[in-house]
Structures are given as C-alpha cells and as structure tokens.
Amino acid sequence: MPVSDFSGEAPLKRAGLTELLVARILGLVTTGSLKPGDQLPPERKLAETFHVSRPTLREALRALAVLGVVEVRHGGGVFVSRLEASDLLGPLTFFLTLRSTEVDKLYEARRLIEGEIAALAAERGDAAAHDELEALIDRQEEAKADPARYRDVDTAFHKRLGDLAGNEFLARAAQSLNILGQEFRKIASETPNVIATSIADHRAVLAAIRAGNPAEAREAMATHMDHVLQSTKASMGSKP
C-alpha cells in the first residue's frame, strides 16, 4: 500500500492508543484499503501518521501479528497476511474449546447463516455447480472411515456452497463459524453413524438446490445444523 494512502488518516486520541490503532489498521484491512501481501509504510511514517509513539505502534503491530493479520519480517518490513480464517480465529478457537457451553450459540448462528447460503445457492446455482457439490458428497462417502479426512471434505462442501451463494460476506462468516465448529467436533468422536447422517443431510440440501427451491434448501440446511449440534453435544457429554 503506498504511503500516500495513509494521508487521510486522523491522529488517534491518547486514551487506549494501542487498541485504537489495532482497530484502525483492522478497518483498513476489512475495507480493502490494505490487501493481502501489501507492505505497510515504514515504522516512522506510520507513527507520524497516527501521531503515536514508536513503542505504541510496535505494541499494536505485535497484537495484529498474534491475530494473524500482519506478518512481521525481520529486516524486511510488515506485510498484511493472507488472512486465512483459520489463522485469524486461532485465539478465539482456543477460547471456545474452554467454553463448551457456547456450542449452542455457535450452531444457532450457523443455522441462520448456512441456511441462507443454501437458499441463495438454490436461486443462483447451475448444473455444473450442482455436479461439483455432488462430487464432494461422493468424496465424503469415500472418507466415511476416516473422520479427519471427512472433515476436510465436509469443509470443502460448505465452502463451495458459500461460493455458489454469491455473497462473500455470508461465505466468509460461514467459513469462520465452520472452523469454530470443527474445534468442538475434534472433542466429539465422529462415529460412522454420525457421518452417514451428515452425508444424508448434504444430499437433502443438494436435492433442494437442484430443484431450485430456496425454502426447502434453507430448511434442509437448518435440519443438518440441528443434527450436527445434537451429535456434537451428545459426544461431548459422554467425555469424562
């Protein structure tokens, strides 16, 4: 990102400077002013732009590095990372593994977001995309005996649905929530019966999408999320 692109940034107030600077830089990333791979201006220029000290700036950059938003290359500057959801959510996934009671809220959110994605996919998909989804379900069948591999293909299925929906905000939210859900499912043992149920659910979602029926697709996905929540809670509850 050119140094001149920071010229319009207002100086930060003194209270909570580090937190404010983190929020400001995150805002530049989320609005697309800073893109993956962009190099931030030199430390001196950034400090002058935001009217903060270099120690404050370094503290903010360290916080952003922990979140996975930036990558500090020693001797080479600071760059915006690729912003993979799994990297950005690292600290949050750790937090959630310690709070199993949050699983209900997580799947409530997934039910709403993934349901809407399925409905949009039913409106916007085409035969080629439908065939891609079916191929992913076939790969899930092949991975039934390998839960770790199945989870990877399951993630690919939901990601492709998000792409098909044509709304990158919903797709990103769904991907992030799916990653958080995987943390809970690593705790829960995935039995062949649980996997078989998920595959059947996916086929029901795809059938509604192929039929071009948004309401049925939304309901099929909501049912799937309910099943995943039930099996996850049951398995987590059986752990000593």
In this prediction, residue 10 carries a pLDDT of 52
Tokens linked to 222 = 């909501």
As a whole number, mean pLDDT of residues 1-25 equals: 63
Q: Give 33's DSSP letter.
A: S
Tokens linked to 4 = 């001149």
Number of domains the chain contains: 2
Q: What is the distance between the alpha carbons of residues 59 and 103, in angstroms, rounded to a whole number?
A: 33
pLDDT tens string 55-107: 889 888 888 887 778 888 877 789 988 765 455 555 455 455 545 567 888 89
- Nearest residue to 104 (alpha-carbon basis) of 238, 237, 239: 237
Domain boundary among 83, 102, 133: 83
In this prediction, what percent of the chain has a pLDDT beyond 70? 79
> Which value, in Å, is the radius of gyration of the alpha carbons in the chain?
21
pTM, two decimal places: 0.63
Contacts of 228 (CB under 8 A, 6+ apart): 107, 110, 181, 185, 198
In this prediction, residue 98 carries a pLDDT of 42
CATH at residue 8:
1.10.10.10
202/111 same-domain check: yes
Instruction: Answer yes or no: is pLDDT of 195 > 50.
Output: yes
Tell me, rounded to whole angstroms, the distance of Cα 32 from its chain centroid. 17
| Neighbouring C-alpha atoms within 13 Å toward the C-beta of 189 | 7
Domain boundary among 27, 60, 83: 83
65 vs 126 pLDDT, higher one: 126
